Structure 1
Amino acid sequence: MTLAPGLRSQLLVVVEMNDTAKAIGSGDVPVLATPRLLALAEAATVRAVERHLAPGQTSVGTRVELDHLAASPLGARVRVGVELTRVDGRRLVFAFEAHEEHGEPETYEERGGRTVVGKGTIERVVVDRAKFIARATR
């Protein structure tokens, strides 16, 4: 395992109906659901470390702090970025931030066309995949 702070990953999604609070059941409005935002952030953490784990290893989520700061409607482009900020043995701590992008993709940062949608931290633990599955299915 060669994990060190600074590993990064990001995902870009366009909010569709199945991403909304109404579809997921966490609310009744057609905006990006908080559970979906969390799932995207967790997926980005998995992507950040997957190539750095030893064969047979995986990581599992253990703790989350999430502030969902702004609503993202259908069609919004939301970019979720994560960075590994701390490695403590098998424990991994990530910071994440999600932005809704406005305008054309090439120019959105130049125009200040980003809205912070959410931010927080995610903790994961590196485990042996086979042993973890065996314990979980007992």
Structure 2
Amino acid sequence: MRHEVTEADTAVTMGSGDVPVLSTPRLIAWMEAATMRAAAPFTEAGRTTVGTALRVEHVRATRVGGWVDVFAEPPVLAGRRLTFRVRAVDGSGRLVAAGEIDRAIVDRARFLEATTDEGKPGRTS
């Protein structure tokens, strides 16, 4: 999927750096969204996937106004774990980032039941 880099996507705005270029957190979010779309064929009703690990190297800066195409290859399936190879390339075809993102297939309701309110304001243990 193609993404244009805006001021909202920069390291300055995201708080992850002090230069006005595509931030790593935004790039990771775009990559995770690509894995969500690629995981859809592996989930059935009542199931979803959640991110569990990422190993991504961001190797090239992209200026505001530039764009990147983000790709997630079909995953390697190991039980309930999906491992995606991901990459992003800029408008010149140069590699911006590459790596792997793992997702786990979970039962949506059971997953939400297992979440905790700990740390929520006003809650005590």
Could you state the TM-score of these two structures normalised by the residue count of structure 1? Answer: 0.81
Deviations 1:83-110 (A, max 9, x none): 1341001000000110001xxxxxxxxx
Separation in 1, partners of 2:96, 2:113:
38
Separation in 1, partners of 2:48, 2:9:
26
Give yes or no for the alignment of 1:122 onto 2:112: no
- Alignment match, 1:135: 114
The answer to which of 90-99 and 46-55 deviates more is 46-55
Which runs of 5 or more structure 2 residues have no equivalent in the other structure?
Answer: 118-125
Superposed structure 1 runs of 4+ greater than 6 Å apart: none
- Alignment match, 1:45: 35
Letter of the aligned partner of 1:117 in structure 2?
Answer: V
RMSD of the alignment, in Å? Answer: 1.1
Separation in 1, partners of 2:30, 2:54:
13
Q: Tell me: higher relative CO, structure 1 or 2? Use CA pairs within 8 A at least 6 residues apart.
A: 1
- Number of equivalences: 117
Structure 2 counterpart of 1:97, from 62, 87, 93: 87
Letter of the aligned partner of 2:116 in structure 1?
Answer: T
% identity of equivalent residues: 43
The answer to which of 51-60 and 63-72 deviates more is 51-60
Structure 1 counterpart of 2:25, from 8, 28, 35: 35
Deviations 1:117-137 (A, max 9, x none): 000000000000010011013
Q: Is the 8 A contact 1:87 1:93 kept in 2?
A: yes
Could you state the TM-score of these two structures normalised by the residue count of structure 2? Answer: 0.89
Deviations 1:48-77 (A, max 9, x none): 122441101000011100100000000111
Paired residues for 1:65-84 under 5 Å: 65-84=55-74
